[in-house]
Amino acid sequence: MSKYRWQASVLVLVSFMLGCNEFMVVGVISDIAKSLQVTVATAGYLVTIFAIVYAISTPIVTLFANRFDRFHALMVLMVIFLIGNTASGFATSYGWFLASRLVTAAVAGTIESLITLFAYDLAPRHKRASLISWIAAGFSIASVIGLPIGTAISTATSWHMAFHLISVLSLLTCLALIIMLPRHLAKATGKSSLKGQLVLLTDQRIILGTLLILFSAAALYAYYTYIRPLLTTGLGFSTTMLNWLLLALGIMNILGNRLSGFVAERHGLRTLPRFYLIDIVLLLSLPLAMTTPLVALNILLVLGLIITVLNAPIQIHFLGVAEADYPQATLLASSLNAIFFNIGISIGSATAATVMAHGGLSHLGYGAAVFSSLALITVIVLNRVVAHAKCETKQ
């Protein structure tokens, strides 16, 4: 195996590790609540708080990390992550566990940004999109494989042991990064002042890209927030079937991330409108298909394949714009996907709750279709702006 393949494997391993840490709580939430003597609802706030801290801290930590060379910034954040996760494994009170989760949430987003930037720099140009899509797939693999393994370990021993396992994985990952990653990738060139980095956010191509991520994430979570009751209460599948159905959806999501890399390598953003059109048709069809469970299930599976196809094309777009016009802000550019995806999750989840309160499970597809329509309009405008910018550059 070539050195590049080993480096690529280590970067994907980091995303898998981050995914395990984030998703593990979902699978063992009842065990945590019982052990720490709080209600399941109170333990559930851990997921919400993690997402909020992740979204708020990522741009702040990223802007600070941009002042240092990438390798050392990554290793320092990995050590902080390891300390936070290890503290989670030894937690004996809700306050202790919450504090440890805040530590990991504060650095996880910037670690993701740094490994994306390493991927962009290390991969040959024709393999950039593929590697970035694999990094995104690492999170999906964590939800499909890591989450049930963690749940099984928690059931067999304790939830503490599940977090200790992640700490062991984190330590091995740190050692692999030290061995495999180059030290010569210096911090971004040009002005690295706060103002010099934030100027990236004034570019119309970046603004439209962040809106596209937000609407896409909102479209996904406007129905996926209630995927369990949607499959059981809405479509009538048994709780025995539920885990198998969630596994199938997870596999489709992994394949979707690979499809995302394929699309990014072939015209990228210009290809996306047709996917959003399919999303809209499927989401509008979902409420009508609820009376036929197998049809509705197939709609959900196809949505799982194509609704996140944006991931690699938009990341390549952000990094391409930054590399050409804002080299001092490439790290910030690599973090935008994570930041605005989490904001979109919040908006989509809130929309899902509102639709549930007024229309029930059968109407969730309509709310998601609205966001997918906004995403379609946004990507059409973005493509025109990008095309116009290229024409001006040529002139």
Q: What is the pLDDT of residues 152-211, one digit of tens each?
A: 888 888 889 989 999 999 999 999 999 988 877 645 444 466 777 888 889 999 999 999
Query: Do residues 97 and 45 touch, judged by C-beta distance below 8 A?
Result: no
- The whole-model pTM stands at 0.82
Query: Which long-range contacts link 247-253 to residues 24+ away (Cβ below 8 Å)?
Result: 247/144, 247/148, 248/301, 249/300, 249/301, 249/304, 250/140, 250/143, 250/144, 251/144, 252/301, 252/302, 252/304, 252/305, 253/140, 253/143, 253/144, 253/304, 253/305, 253/308
Cα separation, 283 vs 368, in Å, equals: 7
pLDDT for res 393? 66
Which tens digits make up the pLDDT trace of 72-101? Answer: 999 999 999 999 999 999 999 999 999 999
Tell me, what's the pLDDT at 189?
47
Fold of 197-394: Growth Hormone; Chain: A; (1.20.1250)
Q: For residue 173, what is the DSSP state?
A: H
For residue 126, how many other CB atoms are within 10 A of its CB? 8
Residue 265 predicted with pLDDT over 80: yes
Q: How far lies 336's CA from each of 43, 79, 319, in Å?
A: 29, 23, 10
- Integer Cα distance of 192 and 203 in angstroms: 17
Please, which residues have CB within 8 angstroms of residue 141's CB and are 6 or more apart in sequence?
A: 16, 19, 254
* Token couple for 36: 């720490």
63 closest CA partner among 194, 156, 221, 208:
194
pLDDT at 65: 85
Buried b (16+ CB within 10 A) or exposed e, 334-348: bbbbbbbbbbbbbbb
Report pLDDT for 353: 84
The predicted pLDDT at position 161 comes to 93
CA 58/CA 335 separation, integer angstroms: 7
**What CA–CA distance (Å, rounded) separates 16 from 267?**
28
Q: Where along the chain do its domains lie?
A: 3-187, 197-394
User: May I ask the CATH architecture of the domain 3-187?
Assistant: Up-down Bundle (1.20)
Q: Which residues are within 8 A (CB) of 345 and not within 5 positions of it... i.e. 6 or more apart?
A: 51, 217, 218, 220, 221
Residue 56 tokens, joined: 């708020």
pLDDT digits (tens, 9 = 90+) for 146-163: 777 877 888 888 889 989
The token pair at 274 is 């047709």
3-187 and 197-394 agree in CATH topology: yes
